A and B are shown apart, each in its own frame.
Chain A
């Protein structure tokens, strides 16, 4: 194909409005192994965890978080099987143990805490995990990113909340204090801490895609 036909100038269909996930999704959307994206026992497994907090600094015990990321090889194709169903009993079978689907979903617990076990993303530049936040009280979901800054190729493995490596247009565009809200803090045992503050002091940077 050399010539491109300009798209027909039909007006876009207006979208279906968003609505809150409400308080009672808990028996419908979360699924076993929802936060266990890494294949079982994979030696490269990392843990991303933290708290979701409201404008008063209180934990949000009924948030639902979704995670989407590239594979360790940078692939963005994903794979089915995140919520594998049992065709005999009708329940969930869990993941198949070997495939990496790139997708995770976890609800926060009574303390507002979540944890995701996954493989390091391999996107170009500073690796990141895309996060989508749903909750009672949120009429429209929120997108953010958990950047694993110390895993960036040029980071030299030593950024304990310090300056962020170059190579990411979004991080570069933000003042330092806001930028810090997108950087997951390395902890021992391949673990990263990433809190999400919905409002107020140190409010997390939330994103929109045009």
Chain B
């Protein structure tokens, strides 16, 4: 029998209660989702069962405390504007998404690569295996790249993606989201995540968002609508700051 939304809601609710109870009893906040979150069925056979092995971060020559670098050759002018990559204008509500990329100390992460990808305004990816019967848009691919500036800022112009169905359970729908891929100054700071739009009624039904069981951590995945970032006669503005986890050798050196 196919899993229903209410089956998934029960599992999500149980895991939420268990987390909230643990927190109330003094357990530390979990900022990231667990790798084995059963309501997201794809995780069942793909998460390690052995504990992760801690690598001593004390040696600045540890390869992962450094990371790949990107530069002017890796980006073209149109890469950060997803609405100008084809002959015509894409359909949908034009938006800008901007914010800062920071490390855990609040330092800007400068000159690093930010990549995004997303569904079009109808909720369809330009991917062969996306079979959602919503229209493809010949004027929208949904891929963007940019480098952060000296203040760690990034900015994209795009269209608001649509919600889309998926096969986790019957009547499963993902809230509208933009996928983000981020690099810090160290490979240990690597992050792939998703940005959501405020007030989406699908939040409570989505096992992927709910896999982040900490409520305030979940809230950090949601952009803010910022009217002052909206451009007259052109686009609606959203702001979303991103904070990277994990150590890097850069600050070890600066602390010396």
Interface, chain A (partner B; CB < 8 A)? 1, 4, 7, 10, 12-29, 54-56, 58, 60, 66, 68-70, 76-87, 90, 96, 101-103, 121, 123-124, 128, 130, 132, 134-143, 169-170, 173-174, 178, 198-200, 203-210
Contacts and interface: CB of A to CB of B under 8 A. Distances in A.
SS class, residues of chain A in contact with chain B: loop
Nearest to B70: A80
B83 to A, nearest CB: 14
Interface string B25-61: 0000101111101001011111111101111110001
23 contacts: A4-B255, A10-B106, A13-B102, A15-B191, A16-B221, A17-B31, A18-B192, A19-B33, A19-B192, A20-B40, A21-B192, A24-B129, A28-B117, A28-B142, A29-B181, A55-B46, A80-B69, A83-B70, A85-B74, A96-B73, A209-B55, A209-B62, A210-B54
Interface of B: 29, 31-35, 37, 40, 42-50, 52-57, 61-79, 85, 102-106, 115-117, 119, 125-127, 129-130, 141-143, 145, 179, 181, 187-188, 190-194, 208, 211-212, 214, 216-218, 220-221, 242-247, 255-256
Given A4-B255, A84-B73, A140-B35, 10 more contacts: A17-B214, A19-B194, A20-B208, A55-B49, A60-B46, A81-B73, A83-B74, A137-B44, A170-B53, A209-B57
A16 B44 CA distance: 24
A48 to B, nearest CB: 15
Given A12-B105, A21-B192, A23-B129, A138 B46 contact: yes
A61 B145 CA distance: 25
Contacts of B43: 137-139
Given A68-B187, A137-B46, A199-B45, A80 B130 contact: no
Contact of A24 (B37, B116, B117, B188): B117
Contact of B31 (A14, A198, A203, A206): A14
A132 to B, nearest CB: 6
